[in-house]
């Protein structure tokens, strides 16, 4: 099975040439972590169109590349915008198409996750058919890590995401200890979707809403990410609508704690208004890139 590109030409450029040109612009002033990483192995990235959040996502993958250039496989915890699932969904076989060529699924690793996490995850490629949050990351991975494979997982938004993340963390830890594979884990979520377009206006409309979203609402969930408080993410997101991928965040951070991380590093935070103020302040979205 080869999953086709669904969002090439809309969320990101549709050709290799156009992707290379856009990435070249991102590389000119890529965001850097403010601490030194000996071996960055986990990240959280946004998943909007490249013109809005692509540079933040690319910067996380680039930071991983600088300390972990030989990554074999990326486990990708996705958000869920439209799939109807009652159990976390993995795509365990096949390939995904990108403008730079196909990326293979690491079927061996996916099989281990299915076996050890069978209570919490099932093989369900259909769940990934129309989801964009993983797809928009793949050109970055294929560009920076041409031979890397992937394991796409869509966690459900419940404490089962945490259990699955812990299982994945233990599998990755064992693989690293046995020097079998160099595995990176990346989760994806955007933050507060504020405004009339998103039917979310708890502070009304106007310039003060941007300040509130940035300094209060998004700050809450970012602090939970940085402090690795994975058990509070879903409750916070449900209460304050400040993450569209809380299952992905929870699973990612549960895994990284198993791997020994103590704290995350915020590479960059911005909103769509910061990037394109000409679009107005009536509706905007928050984005954060975090490295562990």
Domain presence at residue 99? yes
Domain presence at residue 215? yes
Domain presence at residue 197? no
pLDDT at position 40 is 87
> CATH number for the domain including 183?
3.40.830.10
Distance between CA 265 and CA 280 in Å, rounded?
30
β partners of residue 200: 195
CA distances from 47 to 11, 22, 37, 136, 190 (A): 9, 16, 24, 6, 6
Domain presence at residue 6? yes
Q: What is the DSSP letter of 197?
A: G
Residue tagged 């998943």 (tokens): 47
Residue tagged 């061996």 (tokens): 108
β partners of residue 195: 200, 283
Percentages of the chain per state (helix, strand, coil), in multiples of 5: 45, 20, 35
Domain span at 17:
2-192+205-291
Domain presence at residue 199? no
Domain presence at residue 70? yes
pLDDT at position 180 is 77
pLDDT at position 200 is 98
Q: Walk along the chain (292 residues) in steps of 10 and give the mean pLDDT of each run.
A: 97 99 98 86 98 99 94 98 97 99 98 98 98 99 98 98 98 90 97 97 95 98 98 98 99 97 96 94 97 97
pLDDT at position 36 is 82
Domain presence at residue 198? no
Does the predicted model carry a pTM greater than 0.95?
yes
Domain presence at residue 19? yes
pLDDT at position 35 is 83
The tally of domains found in the chain comes to 1
């Amino acid at each position: 099975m080869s999953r086709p590109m669904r969002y090439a030409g809309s969320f990101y450029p549709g050709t290799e040439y156009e992707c290379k040109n856009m990435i070249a612009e991102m590389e000119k002033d890529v965001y850097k972590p403010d601490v030194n990483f000996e071996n960055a192995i986990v990240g959280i990235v946004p998943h909007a169109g490249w013109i809005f959040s692509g540079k933040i996502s690319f910067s996380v993958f680039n930071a991983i590349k600088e300390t972990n250039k030989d990554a074999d496989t990326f486990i990708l915890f996705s958000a869920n915008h439209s799939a109807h699932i009652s159990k976390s969904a993995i795509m365990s076989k096949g390939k995904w198409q990108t403008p730079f060529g196909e990326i293979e699924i690491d079927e061996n690793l996916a099989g281990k996750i299915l076996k050890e996490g069978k209570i919490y995850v099932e093989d369900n490629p259909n769940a990934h058919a129309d989801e964009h949050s993983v797809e928009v990351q793949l050109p970055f991975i294929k560009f920076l890590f041409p031979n890397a494979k992937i394991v796409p997982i869509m966690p459900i938004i419940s404490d089962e995401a945490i259990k699955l993340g812990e299982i994945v963390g233990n599998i990755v830890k064992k693989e690293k200890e046995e020097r079998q594979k160099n595995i990176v884990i990346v989760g994806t979520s955007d933050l507060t979707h504020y405004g009339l377009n998103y039917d979310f206006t708890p502070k009304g409309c106007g310039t003060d809403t941007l300040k509130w979203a940035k300094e209060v609402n998004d700050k809450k969930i970012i602090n939970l990410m940085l402090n690795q408080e994975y058990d509070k993410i879903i409750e916070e997101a449900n209460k304050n609508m400040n993450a569209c991928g809380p299952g992905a965040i929870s699973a990612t951070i549960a895994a990284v704690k198993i791997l020994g991380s103590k704290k995350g590093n915020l590479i960059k935070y911005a909103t769509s208004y910061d990037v394109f103020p000409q679009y107005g302040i009536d509706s905007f979205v928050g984005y954060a890139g975090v490295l562990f």
